[in-house]
Amino acid sequence: MTLTLGSLEVPVPVVLAPMAGITNAAYRRLCAEQGAGLYVCEMITSRGLVEGDETTKRMLVFDEAETVRSVQLYGTDPTYVGQATKILCDEYGVAHVDLNFGCPVPKVTRKGGGGALPWKRNLLGRILEEAVAAAAPYDVPVTMKTRKGLDDDHLTFLDAGRIAQETGVAAIALHGRTVAQAYSGQADWDAIAELVASVDLPVLGNGDIWEAADAVRMVDETGVAGVVVGRGCLGRPWLFRDLASAFGPEGPGATTLPTLGEVTVMMRRHAELLSEHMGEERGCKEFRKHVTWYLKGFRAGGELRRSLGLVDSLAALDRLLAELDGDEPFPVSELGAPRGRQGAPRHRIVLPEGWLDDTDGLGEGSAGVLEDVDETTGG
């Protein structure tokens, strides 16, 4: 099973979701070494790219082995999004541009961005039109990611699918949660199936894919053309190995259950790649956030975990990893369990004043607030 996004053929219908501070060039390389798919860069702001912000440009780093460059853009202004799309295609050789209309973070929705923006149907259409037009001369597909809606009383996903189809978007990814849910509760796969039934373009499903078997089940139950995997791969890059196998000609196989020794090899590789891209000191500091995810469920002692969370060199990392029991089996209790942030549903969504008053977004005073030049956040 493959995934077709316009002119782009993805050999395995699996997309790594952009995650702030996670899906940098090193992590994308690490995941790609495990299995074929599409690996998306951390989300960047359109305005930051257009205005040449240094923080934004530092995020646009690609590994030498990254033959298919994929970037997710966030923006609330059609002109900026169009210009940023052109820059990505023309100056960075990007082969795929994804637009974020799903981020639930308050600092984004406060400005009418991310998961808040699809409420403004006409503004959404204009942004998509500008991005598709800018990418067309380069034959680069534009896709979009969204959520069900603001909350259960303000659903937008079916309109978003219709608008995506009308504007020439190559595919739409749906996270089966609302903005109000954020990452809490369960993803609504029925909504994903409903979107599949309502549009002719490929739909990608996102939400609660913790194992390869979940991805296969989502395809079977909803009819999606592929899946988007986010939190499920935290501390488990080998999930992409299982996914590649599951969507291969022989179908789902056994789940990868690495020993702690095999996990430490992956941890070392991750830190090494980060060091190559960022320098050893910064790379090791960046690695620290991943330690808890890698060791989730293993018996590694608290003191050793704390020391790994303070590692500042590859040599120090090697000494600490050597103290782990390499023969300890993978904790099967962790299979299928949620990973990463979950939190609680939000009782109030932060939106621009009067945001719900109309569904246009193009009239004076009805659009969102332009994002900060150096704004970065989770996708």
CATH class entry, domain 260-328: mainly alpha
Closest CA to 341 of 183, 214, 207, 212: 183
Are both 3-247 and 260-328 of the same fold?
no
Q: What is the mean pLDDT of the chain?
A: 95
Tell me: pLDDT of 274 over 90. yes
Residues, the chain: 379
For 176-327, where are the alpha helices, taking DSSP H only? 189-198, 212-222, 239-246, 260-278, 280-294, 302-308, 314-321
Which of 247, 252, 220, 119 is CA-nearest to residue 178? Answer: 119
Neighbours of 39 (CB within 10 A): 24
Q: Is 20 known to sit in a ligand binding site?
A: yes
Q: Catalytic residue at 284?
A: no
pLDDT greater than 60 at residue 75: yes
Whether the pLDDT of residue 348 is over 60: the answer is yes
Tokens representing 379 are 């996708």
| Cα 202 to Cα 173: distance, rounded to the nearest angstrom | 8
The pLDDT confidence band at residue 366, using thresholds 50, 70 and 90, is: low
Q: In whole angstroms, how far apart are CA 292 and each of 118, 234, 256, 272, 276?
A: 35, 10, 19, 18, 22
Q: Would the pLDDT of 341 be above 90?
A: no
CATH code matching the domain that covers 3-247, chosen among 3.40.50.2300, 3.40.309.10, 1.10.10.10, 3.20.20.70: 3.20.20.70
135 is in an annotated binding site: no
**C-alpha radius of gyration, the chain, whole number:** 20
Nearest to 14 by CA among 165, 218, 160, 229: 229
- Over residues 331-346, the mean pLDDT reads 91
The C-alpha torsion from 337 through 341 and 342 to 345, rounded to 10°, is: -170
Tell me if 181 is assigned to a ligand binding site: no
The residue ranges of every structural domain in the chain are 3-247, 260-328
41, 89, 103, 284: which one is catalytic? 103
pTM metric for this prediction: 0.95
Per-residue pLDDT at 359 exceeds 90: yes
Burial class, 293, CB count within 10 angstroms (exposed 0-12 / middle 13-18 / buried 19+): middle
**Residue 338 among known ligand-binding residues:** no
